[in-house]
Amino acid sequence: MGSIIAKNVVKRKPGYLYYVDGKGNVCEAKMARGGRKKRR
């Protein structure tokens, strides 16, 4: 499991997944569901 090294460094947008790649860069990828709420 990873550990948190810094908080509030990246301005996050709804519907995107953020991760650190192999080179140590922070990357964003569009999520499949787009961050929408689930319909009832």
What's the predicted TM-score (pTM) here?
0.58
- Burial code (b: 16+ CB inside 10 Å, e: under 16) for 1-40 equals eeeeeeeeeeeeeeeeeeeeeeeeeeeeeeeeeeeeeeee
- What radius of gyration do the chain's Cα atoms show? 13
Residue 23: the pLDDT is 92
pLDDT in tens, 1-40: 678 778 888 888 888 988 888 998 889 999 887 556 677 7
Residue 6: the pLDDT is 80
